Structure 1
Amino acid sequence: MSAPHALTATIAGVGFWADGLPDWDAARAFARDGVRPEAAPSRPSPQLLAPNERRRAPGSVAVALEVAMAACRDAGITPETLPSVFASTHGDLGITDYMCDTLATDPTAISPTKFHNSVHNAAAGYWTIGAGCTEATTAISAYDATFAQGLLEAMMQLATGSPAVLLVAYDTASTGLLGTVTHSEGLLGAALVLVRDGDGPHVRATLRDGADLESPGPLGIHAERNAMSQMLPLFDALATGGVRALLRAGPHRALALEITHGPQAQGASAHG
């Protein structure tokens, strides 16, 4: 994609959750000053779900809903009005490993609940039901280019008529035999509400040849072993006032992001 055909969007809201960094304020403080909360929760607890559903929801669903709702609150936009894109490299690896192991050893013992949560769009389904959203939702997986392709999809929806789009990205830890093939550690998720115009950070995205990426920033190092760490160059830039980020977009392709920080972003950076 050449520069004249770049896609653009304004970030109206951000949600974030990583092990030890349970929200975007904590992530920004860590990226700028290395400060971590003293007592961070070990698991997200999305209030969008009823208490019994909250307890049963797998980690992938919990983190996706937590950051999605946080981004909507940050943007001041009601979630039921937003089309959404859910991007995950692997879905829920723990459930996938359980399914494979149980099918190989005792197929009739498959848990209906875990089977229900094994599909790649499980988090998107929980979101649309919990938020009462009837707008279109898309689930994307593209290995280590998943976040870049999810961002492109969301920005394309903006460019073709949607006034605002919710992008949610997340991945979980791998376990069991599956973990020897596909490695991922911890729980990581982030969400963006993208709009056409506004006072938040403005992002201009262009595809280019080449696969060389820049050295990771503080957030990238903190969660480098999670499969969705591929998104963290953008969030490091947003947290520290950086003006560019480079994301892997596929074999020998990169998504170059130019970031212009608006008044709101500058104020947040200055005042925390």
Structure 2
Amino acid sequence: MKPLSASIEGIGFWTRGLPSWAAATAYAHGGTIVADAPARPSPQLLPANERRRAPDTVAVALEVALAACHDAGRDPATLPSVFASTHGDLGITDYMCATLASDPQSLSPTRFHNSVHNAAAGYWTIGAGAMAPASAISAREASFAQGLLDALAQLACGDEAVLLVAYDGQAAGPLARMAPSEGLLGGALVLSQSAAPGRARLSVQLVARNSDRDSDGPLSTLAAANAMAPMLPFFDVLARGHGQARLVAGPDHDLLVEVAFAEAALQETASVADHVPEFAHG
């Protein structure tokens, strides 16, 4: 079986102080935080009223998803999508638990509607008019790696391109002690089968779990307290344009991701294939 690999056609990124992938790349190369950056994304995919009502987690997910599609020159309505979040929206979950304990009759239907783990995927498919399949994944600290594997598996099974979106927000209340997360963070990729000139290509392999990971890159350090921080070593590599990152993939495995520009990736495919295990689909 061929190794799982893909071209990175588009990238989206948002965290407080870095409202775009261009800002994140500049920061990673020694730049500074954008002083007048907005405190919250304002995803233009939604009508103004829905944009204001959408939870922060939905706002950041849609912001980076749309940015990645624009970067790739892809119509959002045509892409199957994978949304990965460690916790969903813990602020809403805390509200619901507290309200059910104190005054259940006052529970907000809107907040209940936004509490489900696939809320961001739902807003996306409605806003983009996307009829392609959309999935929502949660795997604790392995959420981004598992989302990436899901997207790559879809490409291997015949999809031309797939949108991957990863995000998490601020924890609140007692849940913040059990599932800590600070700030707001989102990253998105449009991945495709074909080589994209001038774009990076990634290949992945499962390796034994190793606690010694690269987590001291500029982006990894900046947003280290967010629950989606396990994805940041990969975005640090993307900002450099090449290299490797180890991502938590489960209790016993990491996902070793190698990034290179398409020309270099073609030369390295043979050596990578010697070390990539087979992936089963089921």
Structure-2 separation of matches of 1:179 and 1:162: 38
What's 2:279 paired with?
none
Summarize the alignment of residues 2-21 of structure 1 with structure 2, pairs less than 5 Å apart. 5-21=2-18
Structure-1 separation of matches of 2:89 and 2:242: 31
Summarize the alignment of residues 143-154 of structure 1 with structure 2, pairs less than 5 Å apart. 143-154=140-151
Summarize the alignment of residues 180-191 of structure 1 with structure 2, pairs less than 5 Å apart. 180-191=177-188
What's 2:166 paired with?
169
The one-letter amino acid of 1:9's match is A
Give the count of matched residue pairs: 260
The one-letter amino acid of 1:204's match is S
Structure-2 separation of matches of 1:225 and 1:84: 26
The one-letter amino acid of 1:117's match is N
Identity %: 59
TM-score normalised by structure 1 residue count = 0.93
What's 1:253 paired with?
253
8 A contact 1:218–1:236 mirrored in 2: yes
Structure-1 separation of matches of 2:242 and 2:136: 29
What's 2:210 paired with?
211
The one-letter amino acid of 2:243's match is V
Moved more, 28-37 or 65-74: 28-37
8 A contact 1:29–1:36 mirrored in 2: no
Q: Deviations over 1:223-256 (max 9, x none)?
A: 0000001101110001112311110001121000
Structure-2 separation of matches of 1:194 and 1:177: 38
What's 2:88 paired with?
91
Structure-1 separation of matches of 2:122 and 2:32: 35
The one-letter amino acid of 1:211's match is N
SS at the partner of 1:250? coil
Note the C-alpha offset of 1:182: 1.1
SS at the partner of 1:73? helix
What's 2:53 paired with?
56
8 A contact 2:170–2:184 mirrored in 1: yes
Note the C-alpha offset of 1:5: 4.9
1:122 aligns with 2:122: no
What's 1:268 paired with?
none
Moved more, 254-263 or 12-21: 254-263
What's 1:227 paired with?
227
Higher helix share: 1
Structure-2 separation of matches of 1:134 and 1:66: 19
Q: Deviations over 1:81-133 (max 9, x none)?
A: 00000000000010010011111111111100000000000000000000000
1:239 aligns with 2:239: yes
The one-letter amino acid of 1:133's match is A
Structure-1 separation of matches of 2:49 and 2:237: 37
8 A contact 2:209–2:248 mirrored in 1: no
Which structure 1 segments of 5+ residues have no match? 264-272
SS at the partner of 1:144? coil
Across the aligned residues of Structure 1 and Structure 2, the Cα RMSD in angstroms comes to 1.1
Which structure 2 segments of 5+ residues have no match? 264-282
Structure-1 separation of matches of 2:48 and 2:181: 28
Note the C-alpha offset of 1:215: 3.3
Q: Deviations over 1:137-157 (max 9, x none)?
A: 000000000000000000000
Runs of 4+ displaced beyond 4 Å: none
8 A contact 1:164–1:196 mirrored in 2: yes
Structure-1 separation of matches of 2:47 and 2:215: 41
8 A contact 2:200–2:241 mirrored in 1: no
- 2:104 aligned residue (104, 107, 128): 107
8 A contact 1:211–1:251 mirrored in 2: no
SS at the partner of 2:141? helix
The one-letter amino acid of 1:249's match is A
